[in-house]
Chain A
Amino acid sequence: MRNAVPTFRSPRLFSRVITPGIVLVLVMGLAGSLQADGSMGGHADHHGSAEPHIQYRQAVMSGIGANMGAIASILKNRLSMPGHVAIHATMIADSARLIAPAFEKKVVEGPTDAKAAIWEDWKDFQEDIAKMEEAARNLAKAASGQDPAAVGPAVKALGKSCGGCHEEFRKPKEESYKNAAR
């Protein structure tokens, strides 16, 4: 199937590039190792127990995540669990009003992925909560309705509402306390 496009190893290219190439590879190798070493700066080591507010707000989020996982589990495995998707979606929607009080106290030090931006843009944060609630109610409605084709897009929309807040207010994976060195 593959055609005979000449590769960089072809004689034409070989003579033109390889000699300077080898020198440059050495230079790159050296510079590369310097850079790699330079950027290996120490990761903060987050041992120690979680501050109660951090613990609680993460528990609230984990509960929401567990309901999302349950919805996914039913749908992707085509489990026959009549009414369950709507109940899980309603539990997520009802959890919406737990989020603001759980996050109200500003605690940024410790094993947490909450960004300080939450308390700087508190209004945006609350809007994101409202969006999640709305998306979860829509899913509950779709799951109780007659149109199974409406469920998939409603799940996707709910997932996007989580992502909308996480992108702005939750630290990315590479900075997460979960990925800190142990």
Chain B
Amino acid sequence: MGIAWIVLISVSSNPVLGESGAQPGDVGRGRHVFFATGGCTCHTNLPGEGKDAPLLAGGRGLKTPFGVFYSTNITPDPETGIGDWSDADFMRAMREGLSPDGEHYFPVFPYTSFSGLTDQDLVDLRAYLASLPAIRRENRPPDAPFPFSWRATLAGWKWLNFEPVPLPDAPDRSEAWIRGRYLVTAAAHCGECHTPRTLTGGLDRSMWLAGSREGPEGELAPNITPDPKTGIGRWSVADLVWYLEMGIKPDGDDTQGLMAEVIEHGYSHLPKSDLEAIAVYLKALPAIEHDLRRE
């Protein structure tokens, strides 16, 4: 099954890939990208169905200030999943939030961050996803009040809020910092949870990673800029690496909620060099004082 998909992918006519010079998707590399995204755990309904929840088959309700949105089936099932998508469809969905039919995705799906992924990482991720078991499960419409439930509204939302992730050249930065920036802003999409949002739900980039009271599922995601009082200023690189590996904070406390999930199913499987790169990037961020208790 997996092999069949890989073959399909590599023979699918794809002008986009031709231009970018990316090599055909590789399942092994794709697995690494998958872990870097945190294991796409939002697409597995762990809270609703527990450990037996069908892997990546969607249906997980994500509470936002705009209503409850349900994650989609990203298994290779051709009818209810993404099995019949081309690589170009996949790239467009990940980078522009557009379905193969040109419908807009609700921005709970973090294409705002994934827009920064390289062509190679995207085709590799696609190859990995295609190698997983196909599960049949219909997608579920959101429980959100008008106008948030209306896909057409999203055109306006995008016009207002969506800017593909800027990753300009940074010749004076270390290799670790550049890798860390890529992982944090694009693949691992830390900012989607840890950056507060504007009233219309876009990321408030002036408060990049300064913490949010209303992360997905209404969870509080702490300030992870190096502010010593309200952020992670007192955490060392070793503290951060250990945290992303083990989910244990410097004070010995454990991790809850979505962060525990993205660590367990994603980040903890990354090579140490990637975790160090993330830590180096975080420690070099401008410190923003943002006390989430006082809001």
Contacts and interface: CB of A to CB of B under 8 A. Distances in A.
A167 B256 contact: yes
B287 to A, nearest CB: 20
Contact of A5 (B95, B199, B252, B292): B95
A69 B253 CA distance: 7
B250 A69 contact: yes
B248 A35 contact: no
A17 interface: yes
Nearest to A23: B156
B29 to A, nearest CB: 15
Interface residues of A, number: 55
A20 B156 contact: yes
Interface string A59-86: 0000011111111110111000000000
25 contacts: A3-B16, A5-B92, A8-B162, A9-B159, A13-B155, A18-B159, A21-B155, A22-B159, A25-B159, A25-B160, A25-B200, A28-B147, A31-B145, A39-B65, A65-B251, A69-B248, A69-B251, A72-B252, A76-B238, A76-B241, A159-B254, A162-B254, A163-B247, A172-B256, A179-B292
B153 to A, nearest CB: 5
Interface stretch (B53-61, B74-82, B127-135, B212-220): B212-220
Interface in A15-65: 16-18, 20-25, 27-29, 31-33, 35-36, 39, 64-65
Interface in B240-261: 241-242, 246-257, 260
A28 B153 contact: yes
A67 B260 CA distance: 21
A5 B200 contact: no
Given A67-B252, A76-B238, A2 B119 contact: yes
B65 A35 contact: yes
Contacts of B220: 172-174, 179
A33 to B, nearest CB: 5
Contacts of B145: 31
B85 interface: no
Nearest to A155: B246
B274 interface: no
B153 A17 contact: no
B200 A166 contact: no
B7 interface: no
B141 interface: no
A49 to B, nearest CB: 19
B95 A172 contact: no
A66 B96 CA distance: 46
B48 interface: no
Interface in B255-285: 255-257, 260
Contacts of A172: 219-220, 256-257
A166 B253 CA distance: 10
Contacts of B98: 8
B159 A8 contact: yes
B152 interface: yes
Contacts of B164: 7
Given A20-B155, A28-B156, A172-B256, A179 B293 contact: yes
Given A7-B96, A28-B156, A182-B294, 11 more contacts: A2-B118, A13-B155, A17-B156, A31-B148, A32-B65, A35-B65, A68-B252, A162-B254, A163-B254, A166-B256, A173-B257
Nearest to B242: A76
A174 B213 contact: yes
